[in-house]
């Protein structure tokens, strides 16, 4: 049964990530989004076609778990791109 999806989309200047899990107590807090996000970041950091491109993550401000996950995965909030509704993060690479 699919419980999460991840989409890495090419956009002007780089890539953006869309990650979602099924809602409801049965799925929430099980680590599905975290596991999927970790795999995505690993792929983004090792795939030659995308490893040197900008990657962004958008999260509704009130979606605290998504904001925390972005930071846990190495994304840094871009204050200049964020607005009243969205926090926009960029993947920091070493």
Give the pLDDT of residue 29: 86
Q: What is the pLDDT of residues 28-58, one digit of tens each?
A: 888 889 999 999 999 999 999 888 899 999 9
The pair of structure tokens assigned to 25 is 């107590």
Split at pLDDT 50, 70, 90, the class of 24 is confident
Reference 13, options 55, 45, 43; nearest CA is: 55
Q: What is the pLDDT of residues 64-85, one digit of tens each?
A: 999 999 999 999 999 999 999 9
pTM summary value: 0.86
């Amino acid at each position: 049964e699919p419980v999460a999806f991840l989409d890495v989309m090419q956009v002007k200047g780089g890539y953006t990530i869309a990650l979602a899990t099924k809602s409801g107590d049965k799925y929430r807090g099980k680590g599905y989004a975290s596991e999927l996000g970790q795999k995505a970041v690993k792929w983004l950091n090792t795939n030659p076609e995308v490893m040197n491109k900008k990657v962004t993550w958008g999260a509704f401000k009130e979606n605290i778990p998504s904001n925390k996950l972005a930071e846990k995965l190495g994304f840094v909030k871009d204050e200049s791109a964020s607005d009243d509704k969205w926090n926009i993060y960029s993947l920091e690479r070493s």
